[in-house]
Amino acid sequence: MDRIDVRQATAVDHSRIVDLLTRSWGSTIVVAHGVVYDAATLPALLAERRGRLAGLLTYAIEGDAFEVVSLDAVVRGAGTGTLLLDAAAEQAERGGLRRLWLVTTNDNLDALRFYQRRGMRLVGVAAGAVDESRKLKPGIPLVGDFDIEIHDELTLELRLPRPGSRP
């Protein structure tokens, strides 16, 4: 398998970012925990294989927290998501941030498995939050993966070591 490289996105990458977000999310708009993000305007990490886009992670930093707003792998199961999440955690830790966190929906069982296998913990459930988000982004589907009705947001987090606390 070819090597996957992860790097910080630049302005030159904008059209590829917009294209991937639109294919994955229906637009560049992502709604989570009552916040509307235009993910195409957020800082991002890109994964590339032989110069071709293999994945994207967009994020927001507030206080001591690194929020993963979106994570997309062009091909699932190829390790792209893991590389992007690891790069995000490394960047957050280098920046002295205390936690990396994200929100997913109650139907997203594959994501729950993926994130928990990478050390993230389920720390919150916001019942009915997706129902509220549909008021901000009406295109959010009513039914998701595995024919599960989508209603709730699940928050997962990874606590990061304090700078200098690792041997």
Q: Is the pLDDT of residue 165 over 90?
A: no
Task: Say if 101 falls within a structural domain.
Answer: yes
Q: Report the CATH number at residue 116.
A: 3.40.630.30
The answer to whether residue 65 sits within a structural domain is yes
pLDDT, residue 1, reads 58
pLDDT at 87 over 70: yes
Residue 23: exposed, middle, or buried by beta-carbon count in 10 A (0-12, 13-18, 19+)? exposed
Question: Is residue 165 in a domain?
Answer: no
Q: Do the domain assignments include residue 164?
A: no
Domain assignment present for 146: yes
What digits encode the pLDDT tens for the residues 25-49? 989 999 999 999 999 999 999 999 9
70 vs 119: CA distance, rounded Å: 18
Distant-in-sequence, close-in-space partners of 128: CB < 8 Å, separation ≥ 6: 151, 152
Name the pLDDT band for 161 (thresholds 50, 70, 90): confident
Q: Classify residue 120 by its DSSP letter.
A: -
Q: What pLDDT score does 164 carry?
A: 58
Q: Is the pLDDT of residue 167 over 70?
A: no
The pTM of the full predicted model, rounded to 2 decimals, is: 0.93
Number of domains into which the chain is organized: 1
Residue 167 token pair:
């041997």
Once rounded to an integer, what is the mean pLDDT over residues 50-54?
91
Residue 167 lies in a domain: no
> How far, in Å, CA of 130 to CA of 34, rounded?
9
More confident residue, 128 or 79: 128
* Residue 12, pLDDT score: 96
Residue 34 · residue 46 · CB < 8 Å:
no
Whether 78 is in a domain gets the answer yes
Is 137 inside any structural domain?
yes
Q: With contact defined as beta carbons under 8 Å apart, do 111 and 75 qualify?
A: no
pLDDT-above-70 percentage for the chain: 96
Q: Which domain holds residue 39?
A: 4-159
Whole-number mean pLDDT of the chain?
Answer: 94
The mean pLDDT of 10-15, rounded to a whole number, is 96
